[in-house]
Amino acid sequence: MEFRPFGWTGVSVPVIGQGTWNMEEDDRKDAVAALRRGLDLGMTHIDTAESYGSGEVEDLVGAAIEGRRSEVFLVSKVSPGHASRRGTIQACDQSLKRLRTDHLDCYLLHWPGRHPLADTFAAFEQLIRDGKTRFWGISNFNEEELEEAVSVAGPNRIACNQVLYHLEERVIEHYVIPTCEEHNVAVVAYSPFVQGRFRSHRVLEDIARSKGTSARQVALEFLLRHHGTFTIPKSATMAHVEENAGAGDFQLTQDEIKKIDEAFPTRKPRRGHLPVL
């Protein structure tokens, strides 16, 4: 498994992690086992949020990492409605309780909301001082919102921006990724398989066949071609977890990247456009 520096933090994080959105819909025993298998395979970046299953998924993750917390780069998110200065701290305390840990590695604002960024970010900095998170970041911020966030926070404070990114939705390549790179902010791609609606393609199949891998693995590797980009596919089955982990074991050639780029074209969007699921 390849590791990269996580934005300006310098902390090495696996390029492929484990997402947990909608995991409350899966069999709990299978989901816990899948997350643990992912840790065995080096996918130690686990992402969750207080809103996932109204806290149920954080509790599930807490069970999965019990006894293995030191292995995990653990990320959770505060919902915008809770993101006042006081509310952010209270929400973090509740997340820590459900996750059965005393600290997060990174705490994110789930998406822009009505509370001033200055208040949310002040709470994040307080949580760092209190030892309740090591770093903080944002999610679902377009390039204009990211620029505003950097102007409020200052340089080298925002660790990452978590955004939608898959082969059929490559909008972030035009403005969001370059803006993140400019400010040394890691890009974390969520839903790389479109919440289970991944569609293969002859080009992916041909490349996979030549490398002795799978189309899903080729798709993940394509998303990771940008330096500073990470991805967090969600899987509650052992087979898919093992398949996801294998995507970190090879690299695509420039010719293969060109073929995938042509097979999944993207048009340059208007500025400020950011798709979400």
- Active-site positions? 52
Buried b (16+ CB within 10 A) or exposed e, 69-100: eeebbbbbbbbbebbbbebbbebbeebbebbe
What are the Cα distances from residue 184, in Å, to 10, 26, 179, 204? 10, 36, 9, 31
Q: Where are the alpha helices (DSSP H) in 100-170?
A: 117-129, 143-153
16 token code pair: 């492929």
* Nearest partner of 136 among 110, 97, 113, judged by Cα: 110
Report the C-alpha dihedral over residues 77, 228, 184, 234, rounded to 10 degrees.
Answer: -10
Cβ atoms of residues 2 and 15 within 8 Å: yes
